[in-house]
Chain A
Amino acid sequence: MNVVTIALVSLRRLARDRIALFFLVLLPVVVILVIGAVMRGQNGFRVAVVAAEGRFAGELTQSLAAAGTLVTSPFTDESAAKDALRRNEVDAVLLIPAGMDRTLTAGAPVELPLLTTAASGAGQGAWSAVASVVADHAATVQAAAFAATRTSASFDELVPLARSLDRTVPQVAVRAETVGSTGDVLPPGFSYSAPTMLVFFVFINALAGGAALIQTRRLGIHARILAGPVRPREVILGETLCYLALTLLQSGLIIGVGGLLFGVNWGDPLAAVTLTFMWGLVGAGAGMLSGALFRTPEQASAIGPAVGIGAGMLGGCTWPLEIVPPAVRAAGHVTPHAWAVDAWTTILSRGGGLDDILRPLAVLGTFAALFLGAATLRLRRSLTA
């Protein structure tokens, strides 16, 4: 009973702190919204098209806009398009030169410059996607020009004929097939941002929440509690319970908001609940350790989030660890975050159940035990001193 009372008192004090509520409730939801909106997945390569006047330029612009592999945006000014490229707003800039109609009608080839930044991967991809659409357009021009050399009809008369035949003449096709149905990274959009930000914010808020424990100590609340028939063990258990309740409440909120507002499917319920609980324990341990190690509340609320941000980044909360070099990926698994994100990936991307996440759960359990053990030793010393 003492344990629950101590936990409830600490929780009540935290609930009255409007700043803490801002970090616990509002900030994670806004960050999930912002990051989820940005990471909705790329629909195609983003290409700025700077087209001169002309029939073929207009047709080509339409074909590019209709291509599924491209997201085009029209620009009238080359320098504005280059600014967009510099700012990573587009992957490449396609220049459709003036006089294209005249040149092609005369039977001469046309070069379409595609501006990309040096060694840009997306630029290379954009080139292959644009080249494919342009080649399709050029096929009808080539056909009309060839037929014009073999008949008395003019190039302009033959272009519509070539275009109509393009739809009926058998073609050598290229088809795409995706191997496997389960991925190694979280799905894009909110399904990515919600679980990763759950891992990120629960840990950061728990670390920053260590400030409350320090304040409780400083105000002499622990000393007054111990003056009654309460053992130090009960105080520590009570505080741990408070942190666990806090981490679970925040996780529940993020899961609820993610599911209801952002349509995130949290996968197998048993696996998701177990993982959430285990991460709550890790968070509670981290919070208790922060409260035990830092000397002032200011240190906990300033250094705690900085440590949490670093660990979250290293552990794959802000980018998938699959895209970083193997050494960085291995280093990431020094943090509990990487194991939690791995487990969420198994649940959300591979439809995994509890059996499939036993290993990361065991590692998280070890982290929680280590954090809670170290915090308990330290707090017991200060409580009994």
Chain B
Amino acid sequence: MHAAFVVAAKDLRQRLRDRSAWVLGFVAPVAVALLMSFAFQGGEHFHTKVAVVDEDGGALAMAFTAFLAGPQLDSVLDVVPVTSEAEARALVDEGELGAVFLVPEGFTAAAHDGTAEPMTVLSGVDSPLAGTVARSIGESFVAQLNADRLSMATALAAGAGPVDPSETAGLRLPEQVVPKAAGTEQLTAAGYYGPAMGIFFMFFAIGFGARGYFEERENGTLDRIAVAPVDAGALLLGKALATFVYGVASLSSVALVTGLVLGQGWGPPLAVGMVIVALALTLVCLTAFVIAVAGNDRQADGIASLVIFGLVLLGGNFILLGGAPEIMRKLALLTPNGWALRAFTDLAGGAGWISVVQPVLAILLFCVVISAITVPIYRRRFR
């Protein structure tokens, strides 16, 4: 067992002397996470500026402006003054305003008797979300008016006597949508891509480990170890341990830095640790797999690249999986990194530590499957 630790310590020392190991294992993922955090600082809360061009001047138009500036929409909208429709259009075109409400002349009068000119919502090409939200807000406001008109028409059609408009003024729509907190945290880009990039860069250790093995075989290091009183099991264990420790250290450092510096905690430390350990075991299994199927260091590099990019593309490390088509979300669950990202996403969203049990088991199952494939290949090639 002692020999395994010596081999592991030697491998780690050697690895850390290589600047690229530091860059890929620690510097790059932390830098990317920092970059993402700064890029999306405050940009993920929808808030837009709108303006009202009131050509009506009536009570209804004023009520609408007051509704927009009211507390219900305070977190979504800022109402800014504009002097004319032309100015409003120019501001929308420049992206200074998310949307503009054009309230037409005669809006108040026509709303009660006759056909009203429609209210127009202007939005820019680059702000479809602001346009959709503004239109829905406008529709919600006029919905009560339309419901009151429909109520009068229905009563008349059903045989009721003449209805005074004031009789419907007190009516309120009987179905109301009430926003409530779901008890989950918003998944931010920085919160998702922190672990995603950490895992991506951690996987580069597969190539390092496999290439290192073949280099040692080439330059005779393995032969020299073989003549020492070290059995093959201790040698393999030592190499696996070095890869495992590097993997744990790499991902943990990203978790620590993003948690402490950026305040983007990944979740309860024990649960996060369980996922990191399971992923580091995957790293060991995949490195062994690449060594078993490759013939030399160049092949090891190539196969490792295929494995790494295959897994990260399928597992969702480059894309926010939540917005991806369902088939892609399902395919991601064929990969250990896809399960890990699900675990980190759930933890970041406020789920308890128990939520990582299924992902950890799935990652360990992946390890078992890869090991079951690797061992016979390794035995056949290296006996």
Interfacial residues, chain A to chain B (CB-CB below 8 A):
18-19, 22-23, 27, 30-31, 34-35, 37-38, 42, 44-45, 60, 69, 82-83, 85-89, 93-94, 104, 107-125, 127-132, 134-147, 150-151, 153, 158, 161-162, 165-166, 169-185, 298-299, 302-303, 306, 309-310, 313-314, 319, 322-325, 328
Contacts and interface: CB of A to CB of B under 8 A. Distances in A.
Contacts of B159: 151, 153
A135 B179 contact: no
Instruction: List 8 A-B pairs, minimum CB-CB distance, nearest first.
Output: A121-B46, A88-B322, A135-B143, A86-B349, A302-B20, A139-B147, A128-B136, A115-B182
Contact of B175 (A18, A112, A118, A128): A112
Contacts of A123: 179, 186
A348 B106 CA distance: 42
Contact of B302 (A22, A88, A310): A22
Interface in B152-177: 152-155, 157-161, 163, 168, 171-177
A339 B138 CA distance: 39
Contacts of A108: 174
A86 B181 CA distance: 12
Interface residues of B, number: 118
Contact of B180 (A45, A114, A120): A114
B154 A179 contact: no
Interface string B132-148: 11011111101111110
10 contacts: A31-B313, A87-B342, A109-B173, A128-B132, A129-B132, A139-B173, A141-B174, A153-B159, A170-B149, A309-B32
Contacts of B201: 306
Nearest to A299: B20
A37 B192 CA distance: 19
B181 A34 contact: no
B100 to A, nearest CB: 8
Interface in B22-79: 23-24, 27-28, 31-32, 35-36, 38-47, 75-76
B346 A87 contact: yes
Contacts of B129: 42, 121-122, 125
Nearest to A104: B174
B249 interface: no
B179 A116 contact: yes
B124 interface: yes
Contacts of B184: 82, 85-86, 117
A22 B147 contact: no
A283 to B, nearest CB: 20
Interface of A is mostly: helix
Interface in B185-223: 185-187, 189, 192, 201, 204
A147 B318 contact: no
Contacts of A313: 32, 35-36, 39
A18 B174 CA distance: 67
Nearest to B100: A179
Given A19-B302, A113-B179, A184-B95, 14 more contacts: A18-B302, A38-B325, A60-B175, A69-B136, A85-B182, A109-B176, A135-B140, A143-B150, A143-B151, A153-B158, A172-B145, A174-B139, A313-B36, A313-B39
A69 B75 CA distance: 21
A134 B179 CA distance: 13
B323 interface: yes
B24 A136 contact: no
Contacts of B140: 128, 131-132, 135
Given A87-B345, A136-B143, A147-B154, A34 B319 contact: yes
B210 to A, nearest CB: 13
B305 interface: yes
A180 B90 CA distance: 9
B328 A175 contact: no
Contacts of B160: 147, 150-151
A139 B147 CA distance: 4
Contact of B351 (A86, A144, A314): A86
A112 B160 CA distance: 31
Given A38-B320, A124-B75, A324 B139 contact: no
Contact of A121 (B44, B143, B144): B44
Contacts of B152: 146
Contacts of A117: 181-182, 184-187, 349
B309 A27 contact: yes
A128 B137 contact: yes
Given A172-B145, A176-B123, A134 B175 contact: yes
A147 B171 CA distance: 12
Given A19-B301, A139-B173, A324-B39, A112 B158 contact: no
A174 B138 contact: yes
Contacts of A175: 118-121
A182 B125 contact: yes
A179 B138 contact: no
A141 B298 CA distance: 72
B174 A138 contact: yes
The CB with the most chain B CB atoms within 10 A, among A42, A104, A128, is that of A128
B180 A113 contact: yes
B354 interface: no
Given A116-B181, A129-B136, A314-B35, A178 B175 contact: no
